[in-house]
Amino acid sequence: MKDTPDPGPTFPIALPIQLAVNGKRHQLDLDPRASVLDTLRDRLGVMSVKKGCDHGQCGACTVLADGKRVLSCLCLAASYDGADILTAEGLGTVDQLHPMQQAFLDHDGFQCGYCTPGQICSAVGMLDELAQGMPSHVTPDVRKVAELNDAEIRERMSGNLCRCGAYVNIVSAIREVGQGQAASAALPMPVAREVTR
């Protein structure tokens, strides 16, 4: 404890990173320690992604990166250079909700709403994984394509914690969307429109 701690480099390091977020391109100079989550919230002001634990344990920060669901708190922005990031507000707007958002609303699949953007992104990504035939822990036969049922939904959504306890309503919402449409059509591809710095 007597050693004077090494404060590390006193000059700021910045890495040039390009991210497309909800269809908008950004050219950024970022601290190499910055996560995708903190970059979205603190640098770009995109608050439709939430911080719940910063350790990849709660799922609140789930976004779709190049179409796949990821925990943005575990993603260093530097390793997502060039990625297309989609958050809940990129899926749909208040005036034009995405079918998954409408289903969460209809089934009251939330209370406080803080885990909800992550739940919805995760649900969209999850249905896509299911459509691609990816098995889960509860899939009875991994050689066959997993079918959409409540057990599969519960298992695949267990990385998204909800402390208000809306799980049974979340499952109803996802079941409705999954049954109502081909899962692959649920994922709108992000379109890059403009560059801002």
Partner 1 sequence: MTTDPKTASVGQDRVRIDGPLKVTGTAPYAFEQPTENPAYLFPLTSTITRGKIRAIDASAARALSGVLEVLTHENAPKLLAKTDTELYILQSRDVHYFGENIGAVVAETQEIARHAASLVRVEYDTEQEDTRFRPEHPERYNPGKINTGIPADSKQGNVEQGLAEAAVTVDEVYATPYEHHNPMEMHSVIAEWDRERLDGVLGVLGERPHLRIHDASQGVSYERLMLLPLLGLLPQQVEISSPYVGGAFGSKGIPHAQVMLTVLAARLMPGRAVKYMLSRQQMFRSVGHRLTTHQRFRLGAAADGTLTAITHDVQQSSSRLKQFAEQTVNATRHLYAAPHRETSTRMVPLDIGPATFMRAPGEFPGMFAQETAMDELAVKLGLDPIELRLRNKPDTDPESGKPHSSHHLGECLKEGARLFGWEKRQAQPRARQEGEWLCGMGVAAATYPRQMTPPTKASVAFREGKYHVGIAAADLGTGAWTVLTQIAADALKVPEEDVVLHIGHTDLPLAFLAGGSTGTYNWGSAVMVAAVNFRDRYGLTPAEGDEAEGSAFFPDEAKKYMLDAYGAHFAEVKVSTVTGEVHVTRLLGVYDPGRIINPRTANSQFIGGMTMGISAALHEESYLDSRPGYGHVVNSDFAGYHIAANADVPDVQARWIEHPDPMFGPTGAKGIGEIGIVGVPAAIGNAIYNATGKRLRELPFTPAKLVE
Query: Where does this chain bind partner 1 (CB under 8 A)?
Result: 1, 4-5, 7-8, 10-12, 31, 33-34, 38, 41-42, 47-55, 57-58, 60, 87-89, 91-94, 97, 101-102, 104-106, 108, 110-117, 120, 150-151, 153-155, 157-171
Q: What are phi and psi of 42, to 5 degrees?
A: -90, -30
Nearer Cβ to partner 1 (53/142): 53
- Report the C-alpha gap between 106 and 115 in whole angstroms: 17
Work out how close the CB of 18 gets to partner 1 at its nearest, in angstroms, rounded to a whole number.
20
Return the bridge partners of 196, or none: 26
- CA 60 from centroid of its chain's CA atoms: 8
Nearer Cβ to partner 1 (20/195): 20
Return the bridge partners of 98, or none: none
Work out how close the CB of 98 gets to partner 1 at its nearest, in angstroms, rounded to a whole number.
8
Nearer Cβ to partner 1 (140/165): 165
56: left (phi over 0), alpha (psi -120 to 50) or beta: left
Nearer Cβ to partner 1 (37/131): 37
Work out how close the CB of 144 gets to partner 1 at its nearest, in angstroms, rounded to a whole number.
21
Neighbours of 151 (CB within 10 A): 15
Nearer Cβ to partner 1 (131/157): 157
E-strand ranges in the chain read: 15-21, 24-30, 62-65, 68-71, 84-86, 194-196
Work out how close the CB of 188 gets to partner 1 at its nearest, in angstroms, rounded to a whole number.
14
Work out how close the CB of 127 gets to partner 1 at its nearest, in angstroms, rounded to a whole number.
15
Helix axes 99-106, 116-131, angle to 10 degrees: 120
